[in-house]
């Protein structure tokens, strides 16, 4: 009996020891010590058992995250906090409204699971939720004294899709450089950007969501070891367009100190439109099954629709609009309604271009990047057989591929002292058509020219123009970058032709943000990842992508662009190394585009763009 009692006592002691051990164990791979979890503050009503992961206190309450290790060769242990709410759920009467502050919670809130993505879907198949205003924080040092630089990343997806899921946008490449990474979700499609410019449906919810996220970061990032005075905003494609807007608005003054803009800026034609009320009325009419022209009627249909109905009719209207015009259906738009005391906030009150002529926020350093064949996939999707007849058809049916911002909008016209435009857009389309044909050379036929043309109109021409504009202002550095690496990480192309060194839209992002499905990269891909992540982290940390050359890794001096002409300074990365250029960022048609944009911004009529002479820009390149 005494033996049994002794054995029982030993078992009890071992059990208590094991319970104590597992209650305090991180539950992850061994690594450096981190800040210990803190006890819940009053009232002590925890929503979870005793924490096993890292715990931080933010304005809304306490968060419990989890520990993990980065992938790759430079492995570091970090704390992740997933699905952190930065605003109230925008549901019910808050649909289409600016985000409201989150009321907080008692006890410790688990932050270990990815939040639902914002409502979206292709081909009318809905996924996600209206309750989606969450962000993720990844940090390798929870010590508040660390004051690490912060990178806030906004995903792309044509303003219609995407999420902040770390399986797609992982922090693994940036964390080893001492950067804290925050990824943000925002409302999409009509829920994020539909606008009647009324108090009921004011527009720009996606922009306002990201402003709220930046404010949350400013107020809380110190708890994660971050420095609220060193926050760089960034994104890719539509996310980059939104990030660019956030650098220009007075509401973000003091919240953002630099920007990394990958394939999109406010200067780009697709990042703004003024036909927003017409689009919203089309969605309301589609929901009603009859024409709806009254704004209050439209509000009732849009507010009363289920999320499934709203999504289905979003898709119908969006598909119809994209067939006839070079605009996305749901993008940032102007809020010109009268301001109401205590009413919905107005954030974008003028057209995009006017903010460059008459800034509303201080200039900050920019790193602007494009791939070398942004829209090449678009050309091949329209002409996979490289049929010259299809090339001719694309030039003939050009209306969908001529930027709407060639003509300045009303606020810019007012600043420039221009009268109301009487130009028929068909006239501009014909000018562009002739410009394309004049760019054809013996060495670059119509198909070759169109490949560059699609890159130009959607991306690189506006990047070049913005670099020139900022150089002329000379208020903050602009670093231009072109990504021309092709490895197994890149998107597949629909052709085996013309693929050497070709990087299309979003290829560069795979070398900055890690994917959970990615296999061990080749040596060539691993080097590109190391180079890209180091340059991006340097800019986030120091405001310069290459403060000092690093042998083998970054063996180049990269100055900011100071040219307001055809020859701009930019760095190009290929698999075999770097080249510092001083030539056209957008290719041979830059003079044509400059002439055309200048013509429609001149007080007196200007001559037509030079389509009869060579439009190839002079330039030089220096290999490194």
Q: Does residue 134 surpass a pLDDT of 60?
A: yes
Domain boundary residue among 296, 325, 341?
341
Q: Give the mean pLDDT of the chain.
A: 88
**Structural domain harbouring 265:** 61-77+130-341
Rounded Cα gap, residues 348 and 16, in angstroms: 60
Burial 410-438 (b: 16+ CB within 10 A, else e): bbbbebeebeeeeeeeeebeebbebbbeb
Rounded Cα gap, residues 244 and 543, in angstroms: 16
Q: Does residue 34 surpass a pLDDT of 80?
A: no
| 196 and 287 assigned to the same domain | yes
Into how many domains does the chain fold? 2
Residue 96 lies in a domain: no
Say if pTM beats, i.e. exceeds, 0.95.
no
Mean local confidence (pLDDT), 566-583: 96
Rounded Cα gap, residues 620 and 165, in angstroms: 42
pLDDT tens sequence across 430-441: 999 999 999 999
Burial 450-480 (b: 16+ CB within 10 A, else e): bbbbbbbbbbbbbbbbbbbebbeeeebbbbb
Residue 303's pLDDT is 98
Q: Does residue 609 surpass a pLDDT of 80?
A: no
Rounded Cα gap, residues 476 and 568, in angstroms: 16
| 332 and 370 assigned to the same domain | no
Least confident range of 83-92, 143-152, 314-323, 410-419: 314-323
Q: Does residue 128 surpass a pLDDT of 80?
A: yes
pLDDT tens sequence across 444-454: 999 999 999 99
| 414 and 463 assigned to the same domain | yes
Residue 621 lies in a domain: no
Residue 353 lies in a domain: no
| 560 and 444 assigned to the same domain | yes
Give 326's pLDDT tier (boundaries 50, 70, 90). confident
| 415 and 560 assigned to the same domain | yes
pLDDT tens sequence across 483-504: 999 999 999 886 666 678 899 9
| 386 and 332 assigned to the same domain | no
Quickly count: other Cβ atoms within 10 Å of residue 544's Cβ: 17
| 328 and 432 assigned to the same domain | no
């Amino acid at each position: 009996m005494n033996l049994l009692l002794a054995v029982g006592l030993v078992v009890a002691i071992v059990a208590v020891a094991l319970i104590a051990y597992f209650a305090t164990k991180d539950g992850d791979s061994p690594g450096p010590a981190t800040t210990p979890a803190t006890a819940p503050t009053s009232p002590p009503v925890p929503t979870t058992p005793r924490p096993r992961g890292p715990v931080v206190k933010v304005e809304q309450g306490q968060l419990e995250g989890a520990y993990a290790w980065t992938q790759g060769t430079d492995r570091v242990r970090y704390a992740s906090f997933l699905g952190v709410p930065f605003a109230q759920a925008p549901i019910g009467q808050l649909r289409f409204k600016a985000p409201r502050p989150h009321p907080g919670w008692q006890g410790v809130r688990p932050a270990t699971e990815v939040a639902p993505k914002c409502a979206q879907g292709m081909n009318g198949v809905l996924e996600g939720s209206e309750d989606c205003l969450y962000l993720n924080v990844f940090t390798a040092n929870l010590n508040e004294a660390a004051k690490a630089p912060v990178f806030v990343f906004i995903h792309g997806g044509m303003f219609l899709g995407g999420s902040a899921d770390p399986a797609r946008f992982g922090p693994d490449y940036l964390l080893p450089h001492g950067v804290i990474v925050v990824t943000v979700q925002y409302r999409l499609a009509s829920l994020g950007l539909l606008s009647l410019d009324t108090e009921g449906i004011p527009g720009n919810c996606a922009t306002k969501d990201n402003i709220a996220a930046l404010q949350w970061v400013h107020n809380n990032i110190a708890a994660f070891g971050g420095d609220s005075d060193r926050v760089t905003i960034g994104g890719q494609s539509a996310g980059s367009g939104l990030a660019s807007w956030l650098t220009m608005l007075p509401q973000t003054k003091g919240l953002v100190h630099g920007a990394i803009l990958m394939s999109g800026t406010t200067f780009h034609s697709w990042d703004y439109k003024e036909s927003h009320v017409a689009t919203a009325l089309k969605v309301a009419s589609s929901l009603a099954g009859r024409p709806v022209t009254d704004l209050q009627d439209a509000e009732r249909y849009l507010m009363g629709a289920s999320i499934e109905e709203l999504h289905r009719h979003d898709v119908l209207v969006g598909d119809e609009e994209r067939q006839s015009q070079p605009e996305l259906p749901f993008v940032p738009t102007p809020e010109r309604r009268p301001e109401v005391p205590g009413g919905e906030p107005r954030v974008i009150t003028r057209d995009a271009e006017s903010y460059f002529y008459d800034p509303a926020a201080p200039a900050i350093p920019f790193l602007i990047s494009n791939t070398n064949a942004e829209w090449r996939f678009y050309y091949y999707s329209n002409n996979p057989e490289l049929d010259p007849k299809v090339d001719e058809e694309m030039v003939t049916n050009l209306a969908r591929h001529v930027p709407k911002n060639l003509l300045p909008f009303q606020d810019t016209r007012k600043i420039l002292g221009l009268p109301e435009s009487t130009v028929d857009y068909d006239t501009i389309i014909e000018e562009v058509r002739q410009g394309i044909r004049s760019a054809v050379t013996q060495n670059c036929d119509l198909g070759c020219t169109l490949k560059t043309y699609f890159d130009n109109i959607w991306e690189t021409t506006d990047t070049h123009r913005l670099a020139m504009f900022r150089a002329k202002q000379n208020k903050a550095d602009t670093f231009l970058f072109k990504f021309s690496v092709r490895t197994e990480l890149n998107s597949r192309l629909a052709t085996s032709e013309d693929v050497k060194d070709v990087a299309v839209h979003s290829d560069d992002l795979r070398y900055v943000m890690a994917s959970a499905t990615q296999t061990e990269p080749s040596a060539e891909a691993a080097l590109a990842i190391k180079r890209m992540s180091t340059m991006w982290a340097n800019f986030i940390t120091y405001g310069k992508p290459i403060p000092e050359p690093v042998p083998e890794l970054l063996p180049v001096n990269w100055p900011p662009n100071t040219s307001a002409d055809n020859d701009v300074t930019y760095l190009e990365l290929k698999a075999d190394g770097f080249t510092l250029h001083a030539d056209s960022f957008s290719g041979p048609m830059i003079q044509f585009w400059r002439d055309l944009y200048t013509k429609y911004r001149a007080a007196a009529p200007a001559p037509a763009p030079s389509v009869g002479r060579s439009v190839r820009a002079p330039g030089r390149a220096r290999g490194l």
